[in-house]
């Protein structure tokens, strides 16, 4: 396998797999990995040939959080340098969260701190049974700041009160119960489960999936009022009038597969 810290592979279906490739440090991220991940998410987001993005880690871990050597350097850095560094992490997570294609976290092992944030920022997460999660920042005197919008959205404020404050590890089964992951499988079944999700996602229209992601962001947490009613009405009207919407409806009426399939 390549020694590059981030690997990108795309198959003929348009399924891109982004792999954090630092197994010797359990795929801990540093400034280089953050930059490469941001570039990967941004580039795949605008790539017309990419349909789905799968995020995973090399070896036995998904992502063990921030690299200790990098954190040691940042502890000695100035406040301005620390703010700039933190903004690169938040920008990376946001680029994943807002990537206009379906994203799948293939959680092949432990996901700690920033690793948990990466899982939460993906649309769908599948984890192996032995995966362990931890929002562990408080245990080294830090706070889970940049990952908090995504983790709180996934598990809710009530659960965050416990796991943000204790930093305790929790199992894949608990992660599923909390809503952080959607499916827990045996290690031998991980690739099959991801492939099943990919097949299901490929059945949907790529533009409609992108619009659906924006719609979720637009409506989440908002009261149902006149403005929201108009937003949703315009959303479906635009979808019906779009080339993809017209093709999908016509394919349904013709009892054939739509062009994107």
Summarize pLDDT for 117-151 with one digit per residue, the tens: 999 999 999 999 999 999 999 999 999 999 999 99
Helix (H) or strand (E) holding 16: strand 15-20
pTM here is 0.95
- Domain residues of the chain, as ranges? 6-202, 206-254
Report the pLDDT averaged over residues 92-105.
Answer: 98
Share in percent of the chain as helix, strand, coil (round to 5): 55, 15, 30
Taking the C-alpha atoms of residue 123 and residue 259, their distance in angstroms, rounded to an integer, is 24
Please state which of the ranges 39-53, 90-104, 210-224 shows the lowest mean pLDDT.
Answer: 210-224
**Domain 6-202 CATH superfamily:** 2-enoyl-CoA Hydratase; Chain A, domain 1 (3.90.226.10)
Catalytic residue among 137, 195, 229, 247: 137
Cα of first residue to Cα of last residue in the chain, in angstroms, is 32
137 is catalytic: yes
Q: Which residues pair with 125 in a beta bridge?
A: 105
**Would you state the torsion angle of the CA atoms of residues 109, 174, 147, 112, taken in this order, to the nearest 10 degrees?**
-30
Which of 191 and 81 is assigned the larger pLDDT?
191
Rounded to whole angstroms, the Cα distance separating 233 from 147 reads 32
């Amino acid at each position: 396998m390549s020694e590059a810290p981030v690997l990108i592979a795309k198959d003929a279906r348009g399924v891109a797999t982004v792999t954090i490739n630092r197994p010797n440090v359990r795929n801990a991220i540093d400034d280089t990995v953050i930059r490469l991940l941001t570039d990967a998410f941004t580039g795949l987001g605008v790539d017309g040939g990419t349909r789905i993005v799968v995020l995973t880690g090399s070896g036995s871990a998904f992502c063990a959080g921030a690299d200790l050597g990098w954190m040691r350097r940042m502890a000695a850095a100035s406040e301005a340098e620390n703010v700039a560094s933190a903004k690169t992490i938040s920008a990376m997570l946001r680029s994943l969260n807002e990537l206009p294609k379906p994203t799948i976290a293939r959680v092949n092992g432990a996901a700690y701190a920033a690793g948990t944030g990466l899982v939460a920022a993906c649309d769908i997460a599948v984890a192996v049974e032995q995966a362990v999660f931890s929002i562990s920042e408080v245990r080294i005197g830090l706070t889970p700041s940049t990952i908090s919008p995504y983790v709180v959205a996934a598990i809710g404020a009530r659960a965050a009160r416990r796991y943000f404050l204790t930093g305790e590890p929790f199992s894949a089964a608990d992660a599923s119960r909390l809503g952080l992951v959607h499916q827990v499988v045996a290690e031998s079944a991980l690739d099959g489960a991801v492939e099943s999700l990919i097949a299901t996602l490929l059945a949907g229209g790529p533009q409609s999936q992108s619009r659906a992601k924006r719609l979720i962001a637009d409506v989440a947490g908002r009261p149902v009022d006149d403005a929201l009613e108009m937003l949703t009405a315009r959303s479906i009207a635009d979808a019906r009038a779009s080339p993809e919407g017209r093709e999908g409806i016509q394919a349904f009426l013709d009892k054939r597969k739509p062009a994107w399939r």
